[in-house]
């Protein structure tokens, strides 16, 4: 009886959805449903609008509800790598059955139209994707978090491969409009640039500052809904769009300078034109600083304006109820901007404003690489943001007085810790500004936090040990398991129920099934069908045929020297060398997939892409290699591709130089989907290995401490000379075997490997990597053994849910006593 009622009510919901779909198709879009030419495009659009309608009332309800609760967490990030929204919304709103039925009436499956949605690629890689996973978890945990970002007109570039080289094309993701945004011009803010400061006395004789003669830019918000998993909560991602204050400057126009007037409009709108495509490195361009300040100023004004509307100018409880979580140093200027707004706009005393600022700012560090630590030249900063520079000087003066008090006469320490770096090029150190202005500083994996405390931020840790804490990253199990791996998700629901979708620690219950051979076989049958789906994608996008009987060995992530795609290539060349010499004893056939984008200005990273493609071409063309080895480079790696790649992977390559990868999150997606990791003791790999057990993880390479040690007398040439396998690999590369028609192009790569100053220690870890890869072959040949490892990886992945991470942010950073 119960069951019948439920199914009839869901049936009603299904009919309603079907009607709404037709209404949007016929009335909103003006298409005909008996028109055989009704394309998937219009079906996608009408389905999107139908789903969106269902989000909107919960969205409003969530806003009303949050209106009663003064708590507001603002997550400030220059990147949100959201990917597609339709299926995520359908999953989170529990609309799958209704949608399926409705689409059947159009002789269509959801898979047929999903490809009509383009990825929202407003991020580079891990950092931006983390922000998107966090928003999903915050909504699911019903925490009042607003994401603040920029509405780039061009997101992450589209990568194509021509003659083996990366070619970048603009990502015009807004060309067909964006279903998932709502323009909310009523929340428009004005952001100032340039000009100068003027001091004056107010009516009470207090000294005040005006920032005058500024160039103003309008910040128009576009809101995207962030639905929680089946809990009626819909949070907001607010993306700011830059627009000129007037269509164009009328004075200039009347003076006859029409082109200058229009140019000014373009300058304003340039701010949100394009995402900077650098991951883990900075360019120091003025436009980037303008983007950072634009995001920060508009967002802080938005929060303060909302506060004022509800509580007037009484800020007594502001710090108690507000947190600004800074996703890396990119929005670190928030520290100075909040001071400016409180002091100049709300006429607050400096000390009181500083108390509020340092009780509301929280900073997440994402990297130990020096090239990623942002600094801005004082000259540029002063020209673009003169008032902010004054404030930073004041913050620094007061801070250094504090340091001098604790360590009298320690001039060297003062110089080291100063927010303003002295020397020929005076510069603002954004990470230091973030630390000084925040009550919480966190790293993103245990090792990373430890290295911050002992290394990069040691002086600050000695001053304020209580600020430092760790929050190991996570990924959302909705997108990265329930959605992307339907087969495994059903098996899990059948075996341990569906509690894991909201509480991933329940995957523990799976551990006993690792010993159940019938279960393990079903688990591996699902893996096989995911490998088939992946093979189809690789055939389509790379033109390489993958054999699902082989090991699917995958490394997809941004191309960066520290991630060591090069080490992977050396292994491929080593296998190829063995094959051509007839030495296939103990080898297990494998298909190796690499993918990822290189920053357009990063020469060596782009050359690595060319090398992968060149090696792939030689290997794939060689009939001797065909039974043993296939290699493909996956073009335009992005969120949607990852959703297909991680479920079909056997072996997850996480092979960064120890001490360089802050956490990694790709490692977690693979683990959840039953891939086994080959990896170094770096970032969250360490925690992954602890969770799954050393026996179920292929470890190799030096530790972070050993890497530090080894630099002192590193001699790659003698390592190469002493290892016949590595020697042959280097000889093959240097002989031009893979670049017969482009002589010498890989010299920079082989020279880097042979350099005693190679920071990435490729040669040092080669032998132990090759040995670990042999252990992979040995285990894979034992099907039940591999299956057991794969099951245990999924079963042990519970702690890598971003729900766990966000609960820790909530309990240990956001909800605190002020
Ligand atoms: C998860 C993810 C990343 C991060 O991968 P890492 O291996 O942690 O660097 C980057 N890009 C996309 C598209 C992702 O989905």
What does the DSSP assignment read for 609-626?
A: HHHHHHHHHHHHH-TTTT
**Per-residue buried b or exposed e for 18-53, using 16+ beta carbons within 10 Å of the residue's own CB:** bebbbebbeeeeebeeeeeebeeebbbbbbbbbbbe
Measured CA to CA, the distance from residue 354 to residue 374 in angstroms comes to 23
pLDDT of residue 2: 35
Q: What's the per-residue H, E or C state across 646-673?
A: HHHCCEEEECCCCCCCCCCCHHHHHHHC
> If DSSP codes are grouped into helix, strand and coil, which group holds residue 680?
coil
**469-524 confidence digits (pLDDT tens):** 999 999 999 999 999 999 999 999 999 999 999 999 999 999 999 999 999 999 99
Measured CA to CA, the distance from residue 561 to residue 657 in angstroms comes to 9
List the structure tokens of 418: 């100063």
* Mutual angle of helices 40-68 and 2-23, in 10-degree steps: 110
Residue nearest ligand 1's atom 11 by CA: 125
Question: Taking Cα atoms as reference points, which of 49, 62, 69 lies closest to residue 117?
Answer: 49
Distance from the alpha carbon of residue 87 to the mean position of ligand 1, in angstroms: 20
Question: Taking Cα atoms as reference points, which of 17, 22, 41, 19 lies closest to residue 97?
Answer: 17
> End-to-end distance of the chain based on CA atoms, in angstroms?
53
DSSP letter at 29 equals: S
Mutate to test the pocket of ligand 1, among 127, 642, 651 (most ligand atoms within 8 A of CB): 642
List the structure tokens of 292: 């950072």
Mutate to test the pocket of ligand 1, among 557, 595, 657, 684 (most ligand atoms within 8 A of CB): 557
Distance from the alpha carbon of residue 666 to the mean position of ligand 1, in angstroms: 5
Measured CA to CA, the distance from residue 464 to residue 460 in angstroms comes to 6
CB 448 within 8 A of CB 658: no
Pairing between β-strand 676-679 and β-strand 698-699 as defined by DSSP bridges: parallel
Question: Taking Cα atoms as reference points, which of 53, 154, 101 lies closest to residue 600?
Answer: 154
Residue nearest ligand 1's atom 6 by CA: 666
Q: Which residue has the tokens 């070619």?
A: 167
List the structure tokens of 132: 């998107």
List the structure tokens of 772: 């670990």
Nearest-5° Cα angle at 279, 115 to 431: 135
Residue nearest ligand 1's atom 4 by CA: 126
Question: Taking Cα atoms as reference points, which of 617, 649, 610 lies closest to residue 543?
Answer: 617
Q: Which residue has the tokens 């069908």?
A: 529
**13-66 confidence digits (pLDDT tens):** 888 999 999 999 999 998 876 665 568 999 999 999 999 999 999 999 999 887
Measured CA to CA, the distance from residue 63 to residue 69 in angstroms comes to 10
Distance from the alpha carbon of residue 712 to the mean position of ligand 1, in angstroms: 32
Mutate to test the pocket of ligand 1, among 646, 666, 688 (most ligand atoms within 8 A of CB): 666
Measured CA to CA, the distance from residue 482 to residue 473 in angstroms comes to 19
The hierarchical CATH code for the domain 477-799 is 3.40.50.2000
Measured CA to CA, the distance from residue 660 to residue 563 in angstroms comes to 8
Tell whether pTM > 0.85. Answer: yes
pLDDT of residue 258: 76
Mutate to test the pocket of ligand 1, among 80, 125, 480, 669 (most ligand atoms within 8 A of CB): 125
Distance from the alpha carbon of residue 556 to the mean position of ligand 1, in angstroms: 7
Question: Taking Cα atoms as reference points, which of 556, 632, 618 lies closest to residue 590?
Answer: 632
Residues 6+ apart with CB under 8 A from 464: 435
Distance from the alpha carbon of residue 619 to the mean position of ligand 1, in angstroms: 27
Measured CA to CA, the distance from residue 807 to residue 21 in angstroms comes to 37
Phi, then psi, of 308 in degrees rounded to 5 = -60, -40
Helix or strand run (H / E) with residue 23? helix 2-23
Distance from the alpha carbon of residue 444 to the mean position of ligand 1, in angstroms: 15
Question: Taking Cα atoms as reference points, which of 89, 81, 153 lies closest to residue 327?
Answer: 81
Measured CA to CA, the distance from residue 246 to residue 264 in angstroms comes to 10
Nearest-5° Cα angle at 193, 189 to 195: 130
pLDDT of residue 11: 79
CB 322 within 8 A of CB 72: yes
Measured CA to CA, the distance from residue 488 to residue 367 in angstroms comes to 33
Residue nearest ligand 1's atom 15 by CA: 639
Query: How many residues are there in the chain?
Result: 818
Distance from the alpha carbon of residue 207 to the mean position of ligand 1, in angstroms: 50
| Range list of H helices, 312-349 | 318-321, 334-340
Distance from the alpha carbon of residue 668 to the mean position of ligand 1, in angstroms: 10
Phi, then psi, of 637 in degrees rounded to 5 = -60, 130
CA distances from 201 to 205, 353, 636, 644 (A): 5, 19, 57, 63
Classify domain 120-473+807-814 at the CATH superfamily level: Glycogen Phosphorylase B; (3.40.50.2000)
| Domain boundary assignment for the chain | 1-69+86-118, 120-473+807-814, 477-799
Distance from the alpha carbon of residue 129 to the mean position of ligand 1, in angstroms: 7
Distance from the alpha carbon of residue 642 to the mean position of ligand 1, in angstroms: 8
Mutate to test the pocket of ligand 1, among 156, 558, 594, 672 (most ligand atoms within 8 A of CB): 558
Measured CA to CA, the distance from residue 681 to residue 693 in angstroms comes to 13
Phi, then psi, of 464 in degrees rounded to 5 = -135, 65
Q: Which residue has the tokens 């407003």?
A: 122
Measured CA to CA, the distance from residue 719 to residue 723 in angstroms comes to 6
Q: What's the per-residue H, E or C state across 349-404?
A: CHHHHHHHHHHHEEEECCCCCHHHCCEEEHHHHHHHCHHHHHHHHHHHHHHHHHHH
| Range list of H helices, 38-84 | 40-68
Residue nearest ligand 1's atom 9 by CA: 557
pLDDT of residue 3: 36
Distance from the alpha carbon of residue 704 to the mean position of ligand 1, in angstroms: 22
Atom in ligand 1 nearest the alpha carbon of residue 669: 1
Phi, then psi, of 693 in degrees rounded to 5 = 95, 140
pLDDT of residue 424: 87
Distance from the alpha carbon of residue 493 to the mean position of ligand 1, in angstroms: 27
pLDDT of residue 69: 86
Mutate to test the pocket of ligand 1, among 129, 477, 657, 672 (most ligand atoms within 8 A of CB): 129
Residues 6+ apart with CB under 8 A from 193: 214, 215, 216, 217, 290, 293, 384, 385
Residue nearest ligand 1's atom 10 by CA: 125
**E strand intervals along 202-316:** 207-212, 215-227, 234-244
Measured CA to CA, the distance from residue 474 to residue 669 in angstroms comes to 9
CA distances from 111 to 14, 15, 100, 484 (A): 18, 20, 10, 12
Provide the annotated active-site residues. 366, 557-558, 563, 665, 669
CB 566 within 8 A of CB 603: no
Atom in ligand 1 nearest the alpha carbon of residue 642: 15
> If DSSP codes are grouped into helix, strand and coil, which group holds residue 147?
strand
> If DSSP codes are grouped into helix, strand and coil, which group holds residue 633?
strand
CA distances from 46 to 17, 55, 529 (A): 11, 14, 31
Atom in ligand 1 nearest the alpha carbon of residue 596: 11
Residues 6+ apart with CB under 8 A from 546: 531, 534, 535, 538, 539, 552, 591, 593, 630, 632
Ligand 1-lining residues (CB < 6 angstroms): 125-126, 129, 557-558, 637-639, 642, 664-666, 669
Dihedral of CA atoms 162, 278, 443, 472 in degrees, nearest 10, equals -30
> If DSSP codes are grouped into helix, strand and coil, which group holds residue 728?
helix
List the structure tokens of 791: 């099951």
| Range list of H helices, 622-761 | 639-645, 666-672, 685-692, 704-710, 716-722, 724-734, 747-754
Question: Taking Cα atoms as reference points, which of 541, 536, 540, 572 lies closest to residue 554?
Answer: 572
Residue nearest ligand 1's atom 3 by CA: 126
CB 628 within 8 A of CB 575: yes
Instruction: Give the residues of the chain that fall short of pLDDT 70.
Output: 1-10, 33-38, 247-256
Atom in ligand 1 nearest the alpha carbon of residue 665: 8
CB 427 within 8 A of CB 349: no
Dihedral of CA atoms 188, 193, 198, 199 in degrees, nearest 10, equals 60
List the structure tokens of 232: 């009626």
């Amino acid at each position: 009886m119960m069951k019948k009622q439920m199914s009839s009510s869901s049936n009603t919901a299904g009919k309603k959805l079907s009607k709404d779909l037709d209404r949007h198709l016929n009335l909103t879009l003006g298409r005909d449903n008996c028109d055989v030419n009704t394309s998937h495009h219009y079906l996608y659009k009408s389905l999107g609008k139908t789903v969106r309608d269902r989000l909107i009332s919960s969205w409003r309800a969530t806003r009303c509800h949050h209106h009663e609760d003064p708590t507001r967490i603002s997550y400030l990030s220059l990147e949100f790598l959201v990917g597609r929204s339709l299926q995520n919304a359908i999953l989170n709103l529990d609309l799958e059955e209704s949608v399926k039925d409705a689409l059947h009436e159009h002789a269509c499956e959801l898979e047929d139209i999903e490809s009509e949605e383009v990825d929202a690629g407003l991020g580079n890689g891990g950092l931006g994707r983390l922000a998107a996973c966090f928003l999903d978890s915050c909504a699911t945990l019903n925490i009042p978090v607003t994401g603040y970002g920029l509405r780039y007109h061009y997101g992450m570039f589209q990568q194509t491969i021509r003659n083996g080289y990366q070619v970048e094309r603009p990502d015009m993701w807004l060309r067909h409009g964006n279903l998932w945004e709502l323009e909310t011009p009523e929340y428009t803010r004005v952001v100032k640039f340039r000009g100068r400061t003027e001091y004056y006395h107010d009516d009470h004789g207090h000294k005040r500052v005006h920032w005058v003669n500024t160039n103003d830019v309008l910040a128009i918000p576009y809101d995207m809904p962030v639905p929680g998993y089946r809990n009626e909560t819909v949070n907001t991602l607010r993306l700011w769009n830059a627009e000129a204050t007037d269509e164009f400057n009328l004075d200039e126009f009347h003076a006859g300078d029409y082109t200058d007037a229009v140019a000014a409009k373009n300058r304003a709108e340039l701010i949100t034109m394009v995402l900077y495509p650098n991951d883990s490195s900075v360019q120091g361009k003025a436009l980037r600083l303008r983007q950072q300040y634009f995001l920060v100023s508009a967002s802080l004004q938005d929060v303060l304006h909302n506060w004022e509307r509800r509580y007037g100018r009484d800020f007594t409880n502001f710090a108690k109820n507000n947190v600004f979580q800074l996703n890396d140093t990119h929005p670190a200027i928030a520290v100075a901007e909040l001071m400016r707004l409180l002091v100049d706009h709300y006429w607050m005393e400096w000390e009181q404003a500083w108390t509020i600022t340092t009780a509301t700012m929280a900073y997440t560090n994402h990297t130990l690489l020096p090239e990623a630590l942002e600094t801005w030249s004082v000259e540029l900063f002063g020209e673009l943001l003169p008032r902010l520079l004054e404030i930073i000087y004041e913050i620094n003066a007061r801070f250094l007085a504090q340091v001098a008090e604790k360590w009298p006469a320690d001039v060297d320490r003062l110089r080291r810790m100063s927010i303003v770096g002295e020397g020929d090029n005076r510069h603002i150190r954004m990470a230091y500004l973030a630390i000084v202005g925040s009550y919480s500083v966190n790293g993103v994996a245990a090792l990373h936090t430890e290295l911050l405390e002992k290394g990069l931020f040691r002086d600050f840790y000695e001053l304020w040990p209580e600020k430092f804490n760790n929050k190991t990253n996570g990924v959302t199990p909705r997108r990265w398991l329930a959605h992307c791996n339907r087969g495994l998700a059903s098996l899990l629901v059948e075996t341990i129920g569906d509690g894991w979708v909201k509480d991933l620690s329940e995957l523990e219950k799976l551990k006993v099934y690792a010993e159940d051979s019938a279960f393990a076989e079903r688990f591996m049958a699902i893996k096989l069908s995911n490998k088939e789906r992946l093979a189809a994608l690789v055939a389509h996008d790379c033109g390489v045929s993958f054999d699902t009987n082989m090991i699917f060995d995958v490394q997809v992530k941004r191309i960066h020297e520290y991630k060591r795609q090069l080490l992977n290539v050396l292994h491929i060349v080593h296998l190829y060398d063995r094959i051509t010499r007839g030495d296939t004893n103990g080898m297990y056939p494998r298909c190796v997939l690499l993918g990822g984008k290189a920053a357009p200005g990063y020469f060596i990273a782009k050359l690595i892409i060319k090398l992968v493609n060149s090696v792939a071409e030689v290997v794939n063309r060689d009939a001797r290699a065909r039974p043993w080895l296939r290699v493909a480079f996956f073009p335009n790696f992005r969120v949607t591709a990852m959703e297909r790649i991680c479920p079909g992977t056997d072996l997850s390559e996480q092979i960064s130089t120890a001490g360089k990868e802050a956490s990694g999150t790709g490692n977690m997606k693979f683990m959840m989907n039953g891939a086994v990791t080959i990896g170094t003791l770096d970032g969250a790999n360490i925690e992954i290995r602890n969770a799954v057990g050393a026996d179920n993880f292929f470890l190799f390479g030096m530790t972070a401490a050993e890497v530090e040690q080894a630099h002192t007398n590193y001699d790659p040439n003698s390592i190469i000379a002493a290892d016949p396998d590595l020697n042959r690999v280097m000889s093959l590369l240097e002989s031009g075997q893979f670049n017969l028609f482009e002589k010498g192009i890989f010299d920079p790569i082989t020279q880097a490997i042979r350099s005693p100053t190679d920071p990435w220690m490729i040669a040092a870890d080669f032998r132990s990597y090759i040995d670990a890869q042999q252990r992979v072959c040995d285990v894979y040949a034992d099907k039940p053994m591999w299956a057991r490892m794969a099951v245990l990886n999924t079963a042990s992945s519970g702690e890598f849910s971003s729900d766990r991470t966000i609960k820790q942010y909530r309990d240990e950073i956001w909800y605190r006593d002020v």
